[in-house]
Amino acid sequence: MEFSASQIALIIKGTVEGNPNATVRSFSKIEEAVAGHLAFLANPKYEDFLYTTGASVIIINESLELKQPVTATLIRVPDAYSAFATLLQTYEQIMEQKMVGIQEPSFVSKNASLGENVFVGAFSYIGENVKLGKNVKVYPHCFLGNNVVVGDNCILHPGVKIYHDCIVGNKVIIHAGTVLGGDGFGFAPQPDGSYKKVPQIGNVIVEDEVEIGSNSCIDRATMGSTIIHKGAKLDNLIQIAHNVEIGNYTVIAAQTGVSGSTKVGNRVMIGGQVGIVGHITIADGSRINAQSGVSKSLKVPDSVVTGSPAFDYTSTLRSQAIFRSLPEMEKRIAELEQLIKQLMAEKASI
């Protein structure tokens, strides 16, 4: 598809500098772009490429002052990165609008309810009483169990599995291989040392505008619901255990695990490979650095923790500084001990 600079500016509410009729057919990084490509510049360290790139159109920040002439047509916006994201979303929506209908072979239950402009890819399974909203895209090899509800404008990428009774809100994106509603890890120890499975009869609720990365697992609740609240963003390879709640607009990086019944607040930022124990609370606005182990509740909003066990970030930095100095401190202590011995010996001889 081909777009002019003026059309792009209209979409992202920008101002054109140069030829408004300049056209682009594809997207590229600014350092690799050629004629007919659109690029953007948000990071100042890439500014030198602005003057050498072959791109036909470039989105830049309003505040950027040019150091030399530019051959490309520029579109100035308040935030180039956000504007470029908006443009890509618009492009993606245009492409996805072309995908409508049910591919064969696939199975769609007779009593399933499918909204307007739904797409179901080949080898997918849509169970009994499933409800799909408008413009839902179900890519191939997906499984939706009985009574699953999926809201409007959702995208389920290939191989997504949603077990029975789970509920997905509007504008949710779930990437390939993710499982919603698998059994929580519940086993009762028996006198003979074996374990008795505790049935997991709850569900998973994913609220509006959530995005979940590939190969993540969101376990169903033992009773009640495991809930991912509005606007949360989960990376790939994340484990969310039974009865966990993830707050509004919280972001979680890859390989993090949250144990059962923990409540994570709103706008929390969790780095990669973090482990969080069960039955605790994480206060709103908390930031947990990568590879931290959180073993108790974080009760102070907007606090920053690191390490395992995780504690205050500033205190940890001081401790690390002391730890690095330990060899020198050991040497000085040995010298002081030797000096004390000499002084004691001299005192005894008087």
Residue 150: the pLDDT is: 98
For the chain, percent of residues with pLDDT exceeding 70? 99
Band the pLDDT of 170: cuts 50, 70, 90.
very high
Rounded to an integer, what distance in angstroms lies between the CA atom of residue 306 and that of residue 110? 52
Question: Residue 272: inside a domain, yes or no?
Answer: yes
Rounded to an integer, what distance in angstroms lies between the CA atom of residue 251 and that of residue 290? 13
The SS3 call for residue 90 is helix
List, for residues 172-188, the tens digit of each pLDDT value: 999 999 999 999 999 99
Rounded to an integer, what distance in angstroms lies between the CA atom of residue 88 and that of residue 314? 39
166 shares its domain with 302 = yes
69 shares its domain with 199 = no
Rounded to an integer, what distance in angstroms lies between the CA atom of residue 86 and that of residue 193? 56
326 shares its domain with 211 = no
Band the pLDDT of 314: cuts 50, 70, 90.
confident
List, for residues 239-268, the tens digit of each pLDDT value: 999 999 999 999 999 999 999 999 999 999
Catalytic: 242? yes
252 shares its domain with 213 = yes
- Phi/psi for 9 (5° steps) reads -60, -35
Determine the structural domain holding residue 290 and report its residue range.
Answer: 160-309
CB atoms inside a 10 Å sphere around CB 194: 9
344 shares its domain with 259 = no
Looking at residue 148, its amino acid is V
Residue 311: the pLDDT is: 65
List, for residues 82-115, the tens digit of each pLDDT value: 999 999 888 887 777 778 999 999 999 999 999 9
Whether this model's pTM surpasses 0.75: yes
**Do 166 and 205 meet the contact criterion of CB atoms below 8 Å apart?**
yes
List, for residues 24-45, the tens digit of each pLDDT value: 999 999 999 999 999 999 999 9
List, for residues 130-153, the tens digit of each pLDDT value: 999 999 999 999 999 999 999 999
294 shares its domain with 330 = no
CB atoms inside a 10 Å sphere around CB 89: 11
Question: Residue 265: inside a domain, yes or no?
Answer: yes
297 shares its domain with 214 = yes
**Do 270 and 253 meet the contact criterion of CB atoms below 8 Å apart?**
yes
Q: How many helices (H) and strands (E) does the chain have?
A: 4, 40
The single residue listed with the structure tokens 């051959």 is 71
Rounded to an integer, what distance in angstroms lies between the CA atom of residue 79 and that of residue 49? 18
- Cα 163 versus chain centre, distance: 22
- Phi/psi for 294 (5° steps) reads -100, 115
Give the domain CATH number at 73: 3.40.1390.10
Question: Residue 214: inside a domain, yes or no?
Answer: yes
Residue 30: the pLDDT is: 95
174 shares its domain with 235 = yes
**Average pLDDT value for the chain:** 94
Residue 165: the pLDDT is: 98
191 shares its domain with 53 = no
186 shares its domain with 271 = yes
Average pLDDT over residues 69-84: 96
Sign of the Cα torsion 137, 139, 145, 146 reads positive
Band the pLDDT of 348: cuts 50, 70, 90.
confident
276 shares its domain with 343 = no
CB atoms inside a 10 Å sphere around CB 332: 11
Give the domain CATH number at 250: 2.160.10.10
Band the pLDDT of 344: cuts 50, 70, 90.
confident
Question: Residue 137: inside a domain, yes or no?
Answer: no
The SS3 call for residue 38 is strand
Q: Say which of 141, 175, 229, 242 is annotated catalytic.
A: 242
CB atoms inside a 10 Å sphere around CB 320: 12
Domain count, the chain: 3
List, for residues 262-284, the tens digit of each pLDDT value: 999 999 999 999 999 999 999 99
**15-17 and 73-77 as β-strands: parallel, antiparallel, unpaired?**
antiparallel
